[in-house]
Amino acid sequence: MYDIERIRADFPILTTEVYPGVPLVYLDSAASSQKPLVVLEAMDDYYRHTHANVHRGVHRLSELATTAYEGARVQVAEFIHAPAPEEVIFVGNATEGFNLVAYSWGRANLRPGDEILLTEMEHHANLVPWQILAAERGITLRYLPFRDDGTLALERLDEFLTERTRLFSFTAVSNVFGTINPVRQLVDAAHAVGALAMVDAAQSVPHMPTDVVGFDCDFLAFSSHKMCGPTGIGVLYGRRELLAAMPPFLGGGDMIRRVTFDGFIPNELPWKFEAGTPRIAEAIGLGAAVTYLSGLGLEAIHQHEQSITAYALEALSEIPGLRLLGPPGTQHGGLASFTLEGVHPHDIADILDKSGIAIRAGHHCAMPLHHRLGISASARASFYVHTIPAEIDHLVAGLHRVREVFRL
């Protein structure tokens, strides 16, 4: 049974009063999730009792820290069903994962005339690294459109995937529309023309089961801080044969096997891509988050969010002047983006904040998507493991207050 009250008790911040007498209603998990106590305790325990650098010492603390750090890698590999832990690279965030692939694989393999296919609903993290690469290497970027309902125009895939396509990089779940995309179908389409497939899983890994073998993807990136883990760490999964052939992304300590004044020999996977002192405490925190989410069950989390999202979409649709963005029903992940006629999203968020309600307002790092919609910004409420219907009710009441303030 999904015991929501017990789950809410795991998150200390949910008892916070953001203003005197005004309790927090946190509806911004798509931007960054809150942390359960087990994650905070795991990181605190490391810093208090076992902190040392990893891989480089023979003393007891270094051995304990190394075991914990590499243990977290194993936990993550199992969580996403990666065939081997060395296919899990710890990076700073999902954004760094895309940059790593663009700079390392892209620079080594792409030539003028090659094409990369993206979609019109991508986060900037899956746009800008490829734009930089395109300007440098003379490759062409193409964008699969989305339909008016916020779903991808899958009927046009054959038009955009060609023999010139070298990579199809796309989001599993849109951070604006909430659209749940058919990952395996898109991967298969890429492979059918000889292209690689990379998945932006930042909005999917925290919310539903992830199986990189089942996806058959070549690369996949996600961030810890959106899945109950700490900031400052993310994951890049890559097929072993691809990672092994790619040159290092950053140079320095720990990513080398041998260095002379004439050059260097890179380390083995995964350390070839983890230069310098790594994110040790953050990896341990991510490992604790993975254990926590696994204990709740990703299917149970997904079902809970589907229920909450359906409740939210129905309630929001009854507010006069409110326009919901994205698809209906089961194609919709755990968020609701919207506009309110006559009110800027920043004003919506500011007025809601006075009632303790935290939402996101702006372009959500997806400016091209908003431009395509003919708007500069939108408001977004996003949900997670601890969201309850009463918080949706607070949001709806808050939006009615917004309408009163603007005399709508």
pLDDT of residue 328: 82
What is residue 257's predicted lDDT score, i.e. its pLDDT? 86
CA distance 401 to 407: 9
Return d(Cα 402, Cα 408) in angstroms, integer. 9
- Between CA 142 and CA 118 the distance in angstroms is 6
The confidence score (pLDDT) of residue 190 equals: 98
Residue span(s) of the chain under CATH 3.90.1150.10 come to: 4-30+298-405
CA distance 306 to 172: 16
In eight-state DSSP terms, residue 248 is P
Task: Tell me the pLDDT tens digit for each residue of 1-47.
Answer: 899 999 999 999 999 999 999 999 999 999 999 999 999 999 999 99
User: What's the whole-number average pLDDT of the chain?
Assistant: 96
Structure confidence by residue, pLDDT tens digits, 291-350: 999 999 999 999 999 999 999 999 999 999 999 999 987 789 999 999 999 999 999 999
CATH code of 4-30+298-405, in short, is 3.90.1150.10
Would you name the residues annotated as active-site residues? Answer: 365
The more confident residue out of 57 and 163 is 163
Instruction: Domain 41-294: give its CATH code.
Output: 3.40.640.10
Residues 11, 41: contact at Cβ < 8 Å?
no
Predicted confidence at residue 287, as pLDDT, reads: 98
Q: Which pLDDT score is estimated for 255?
A: 85
What is the location of CATH 3.40.640.10 in the chain? 41-294
State the pTM of this model: 0.97
Average of per-residue pLDDT across 183-204: 98
145: pLDDT strictly greater than 90: yes
- Does residue 148 or residue 330 have the better pLDDT? 148
Average pLDDT over residues 208-214: 98
CB proximity list for 157: less than 8 A, separation 6 or greater: 144, 186, 189
Question: Which spans in 22-155 are helix H?
Answer: 37-45, 60-79, 94-100, 107-109, 128-137
Q: What is the pLDDT of residue 253?
A: 84
Q: What is the pLDDT of residues 264-278, one digit of tens each?
A: 988 899 999 999 999
Residue 268, by phi and psi: left (phi above 0), alpha (psi -120 to 50) or beta? beta
pLDDT of residue 266: 86
Q: Which residues have a Cβ under 8 Å from the Cβ of 262 and sit 6 or more positions away?
A: none
Output the pLDDT for position 265. Answer: 87
pLDDT at 254: 85
Q: Does 60 have pLDDT greater than 90?
A: yes
Is it the case that residue 106 has pLDDT exceeding 80?
Answer: yes
Residue 21, class by beta-carbon neighbours within 10 Å (0-12 exposed, 13-18 middle, 19+ buried)?
A: exposed
